[in-house]
Structure 1
Amino acid sequence: MVRMLRPLTRAVTYTRWLHLAVATVWPTLWLFIEEALWTQVTAAVLLGLAGLVPATRVVEGFQARLLLTGRRQDGESADIVTTPSATWADRGRTVVWLEARLCLGWVVTHLTVQLPLLAVDLLTTGLGFGPAADGFVTVEENHWWHAVLAPVPLALSLVVVVWSGHLATALAGQLLGPSRAERMAALEERTEQLLERTRIARELHDSIGHALTVAVVQAGAARAAGDPAFTDRALSAIEETGRTALEDLERVLGVLRESGKPVSGRPTLADADRLLDSARASGAKVDAEVTGPVDSVPGPVSREGYRILQEALTNVLRHAGAVPVSVRVHAGDGTLVLAIRNPLPAAIPGPGRGSGLRGIRERAALLGGRARTGPDEGDWQVHVELPLS
């Protein structure tokens, strides 16, 4: 019983009734002036013409959001949109909504007025008096049981108010909701946002992860060495790596703060020397060979190549420590090849484990390339091929 009565305690139940009643105000006033069928036909025609105006969907959308849902929905993916009609299909759905709202409003307002009048007639005739109201149903004669039936029309009027509100809300969702094209556009925008968030997370992982790894390795080596000169070099390396990481962090936070801000200042393979120097300062014996016109590699490929190299060197320092590392970078024949090899560490990361290796493969796949990571002839290898076109 409590569940059945709960809708009657919600304000949105009555704002939905108001939304339907408002649609019939001006046709009703017109009907009082000129009692003829043509007035109702004219009202329906005028509404149909109004629905063809693109801005009508904006007005109807705001009304429906406020009165039918009881809250303001943001975003183009909301159940009820507030954008102008962009296609004739949108205009057609708006016309259908206006006509449906008018017809449903007529029925609901008529019933919610006449049913209470019927309840009054039943009560007065049940008490031995004549009908007190002029309703659409005439109550004949006086019977005591009329008073017993008096609450029934009142209950029916409440049912009409509740269920007509649900029906109007459902119709609004279908007729004032986003079209298929708008849903696809919203989905594409959402996908772009998720991809951007994933890219930013990957950028932070690679940059901050590399800086922290270098700092931990350098600090541990300096403490173990006990050599003031080595400690100074280690602190300098930590300072330089930390400064670079802070620059990357500020850049990424700037993108987050200003969604329309273009992404700029990201490091490329032209800055690979600082990665190699950082790895060497951490104790790794890096043998690097760069061949081909690396400086002319397209920007997106060069930037992703830098991050792949950074993640590969970070994994070396994190899992293998100060070991010999072979780095080969070759640009030519329409392909950028990155090959990083080092002796197998004691604990071998399994395929697909860790976000770093997964990030390498995802970066390569997004550019149409391929990546292989894992043991190879006694070494751990990261072999990536990225198309330059």
Structure 2
Amino acid sequence: MRGMKREASWAGLVFVVGLLLIVGGAYTHRGVPMGWLVVPLAFVCSGVLVRQRAPLVGLGLGVVGIGVDLFLGPSLPTVLIFTDNVYAGALYGPAWFSRWLLGIATVLAVLAGAVTGVVARDWRLLAVIGVQAGLVLVTPVTTAMVLRQQRDQALAERARAEQVARLAELDRQAAIATERTRMARELHDMIANHFSAIAIQSTGALSRTDLDAAAVRKIMESVRENSLEGLAEMRAMIGLLRQEGDEPEATRPRLADAESLVERSRRAGMPADLRVEGEARELSPAVDLAGYRILQEALTNALKHGGRPVAVEVVYEPGQVTVAVDNPVDERTARLPGTGAGIVGMRERAALVGGSFEGGADGGSWRVRATLPTPNGYGERVHERVDGK
């Protein structure tokens, strides 16, 4: 409604101005009553009224008005307002119509000049009338086409900017989801190992009444140690999250610390043997962390669900390192409930560094095996260590 009111106001204004010009004598006097010139003026002003809603209809009204005006006058206001009809038809009409309109306007301008020159037998009029017709017909069309092209380019740029913004938002959401998954995986692997040992030891201490003070003290010492180690790892992770670019790297778990993981399982009451084969070496941070967490989660699962003893094997080979954990299948009810997130997390960790993962029942035992790629020559070689305990 606001647009219609604006167009109606504009059409009324140009009609009033046109009337004033006609009253002032801005037309060719051919003995026609001045009031008749108002009719073509009304037609072209009606085209202004519908210039945006129906540009082709407005151009049609303008053509009728200019035709009648050329026969009666012509009059200056009708010709000037007709240029707006042509401009609106080229700007607001279909794109193909503006191209056709440019060709038609060019041909009409040339024909108008040529016909006038031939009829008047004055070739100077060919140039004069041709230029005037070009100003009335060609100039509004070319101006509208330039503005139309700029408008389309602006719309295309706006659409492109919106698309880039949507893609950036999708990337941001994907990054947030990835980071949340990584944090959830780290928290699960970090807490599950320590708290599983704490839960199993405290459950054993509460369920048995024949334990002496020394046994209870040993259990509580192990519970306290697991609590402190879990708290230390939690603080290390918080430090990593708060770490900025110029700060030193927070302490990270390493596969070389496999002995400490196995020893922790032993103190929790689960016999475990560790064997390290090959030439142990420094690993990339991503592979080092993935191997450590996979071993940690495999030992946690064995502690909660598996039988005893547990065999742990870390094999360093050219271009890869393999972490394997085997334990007998315990047919009894699991001592602690599981959510299934451990296997998923181990598989995700192996996949993130380009490795492979296998986990499941193998005969009478449960076997976890992860093979992680290691770039040749990364880091310095460290001493080989084989520990049957």
Give the alignment's TM-score, normalised by structure 2. Answer: 0.51
2:243/2:250 contact within 8 Å kept: no
2:262/2:273 contact within 8 Å kept: no
**Structure 1 residues 72-151: aligned runs within 5 Å:** none
* 2:191 aligns with one of 208, 218, 221: 208
Distance 2:236 2:178 in 1: 18
Partner of 1:199: 182
Distance 1:299 1:292 in 2: 20
Go from structure 1 to structure 2 and tell me whether the alpha carbon gap of 1:172 and 1:216 turns closer, same or farther (over 3 Å shift).
farther
| Pairwise CA distance, 1:331 | 1.2
| Pairwise CA distance, 1:353 | 6.6
Distance 1:319 1:197 in 2: 27
Partner of 2:287: 301
Q: Secondary structure at the match of 1:226?
A: coil
Which segments of 5 or more consecutive residues in structure 1 lack a partner in the other structure? Answer: 1-16, 29-34, 36-105, 109-170
| Pairwise CA distance, 1:358 | 0.7
Are residue 222 (structure 1) and residue 205 (structure 2) matched? Answer: yes
Distance 1:270 1:196 in 2: 26
Partner of 2:341: 355
Q: Secondary structure at the match of 2:251?
A: coil
Distance 2:297 2:322 in 1: 15
Partner of 1:136: none
1:255/1:261 contact within 8 Å kept: no
* Paired AA for residue 337 in structure 1: T
* Paired AA for residue 219 in structure 1: S
* Paired AA for residue 247 in structure 1: A
1:145-167, Cα deviation, whole Å (9 max, x unpaired): xxxxxxxxxxxxxxxxxxxxxxx
* 2:233 aligns with one of 248, 255, 260: 248
Distance 2:293 2:374 in 1: 16
* 1:377 aligns with one of 354, 363, 378: 363
| Pairwise CA distance, 1:172 | 9.1
Partner of 2:271: 285
| Pairwise CA distance, 1:347 | 5.9
| Pairwise CA distance, 1:275 | 1.1
Distance 1:203 1:261 in 2: 23
* Paired AA for residue 290 in structure 1: V
1:370/1:384 contact within 8 Å kept: yes
| Pairwise CA distance, 1:264 | 2.8
Partner of 2:260: 274
Which segments of 5 or more consecutive residues in structure 2 lack a partner in the other structure? Answer: 11-16, 18-50, 54-153, 376-389
Q: Secondary structure at the match of 1:234?
A: helix
| Pairwise CA distance, 1:381 | 0.4
2:356/2:372 contact within 8 Å kept: yes
Partner of 2:83: none
| Pairwise CA distance, 1:187 | 2.3
| Pairwise CA distance, 1:176 | 6.8
Are residue 187 (structure 1) and residue 170 (structure 2) matched? Answer: yes
| Pairwise CA distance, 1:269 | 1.1
Distance 1:318 1:212 in 2: 11
Distance 1:313 1:236 in 2: 20
| Pairwise CA distance, 1:239 | 1.4
1:30-62, Cα deviation, whole Å (9 max, x unpaired): xxxxx9xxxxxxxxxxxxxxxxxxxxxxxxxxx
1:297/1:331 contact within 8 Å kept: no
Go from structure 1 to structure 2 and tell me whether the alpha carbon gap of 1:175 and 1:181 turns closer, same or farther (over 3 Å shift).
closer
| Pairwise CA distance, 1:294 | 3.4
Q: Larger radius of gyration, structure 1 or 2?
A: 2
1:369/1:386 contact within 8 Å kept: yes
**CA RMSD of the aligned region, Å?**
3.8
Where in structure 1 do 4 or more consecutive aligned residues deviate above 4 Å?
171-174, 254-263
* Paired AA for residue 277 in structure 2: T
| Pairwise CA distance, 1:210 | 1.1
Go from structure 1 to structure 2 and tell me whether the alpha carbon gap of 1:343 and 1:273 turns closer, same or farther (over 3 Å shift).
same
% of aligned pairs identical? Answer: 35
| Pairwise CA distance, 1:231 | 2.1
Q: Secondary structure at the match of 1:267?
A: coil
1:340/1:382 contact within 8 Å kept: yes
Go from structure 1 to structure 2 and tell me whether the alpha carbon gap of 1:280 and 1:348 turns closer, same or farther (over 3 Å shift).
same
Go from structure 1 to structure 2 and tell me whether the alpha carbon gap of 1:243 and 1:177 turns closer, same or farther (over 3 Å shift).
farther
Give the alignment's TM-score, normalised by structure 1. Answer: 0.51
Distance 1:306 1:207 in 2: 10
Go from structure 1 to structure 2 and tell me whether the alpha carbon gap of 1:172 and 1:235 turns closer, same or farther (over 3 Å shift).
farther
* Paired AA for residue 197 in structure 1: R
1:369/1:387 contact within 8 Å kept: yes
| Pairwise CA distance, 1:318 | 0.7
2:271/2:310 contact within 8 Å kept: yes
| Pairwise CA distance, 1:228 | 2.3
Go from structure 1 to structure 2 and tell me whether the alpha carbon gap of 1:294 and 1:238 turns closer, same or farther (over 3 Å shift).
farther
Distance 2:368 2:246 in 1: 33
| Pairwise CA distance, 1:177 | 7.5
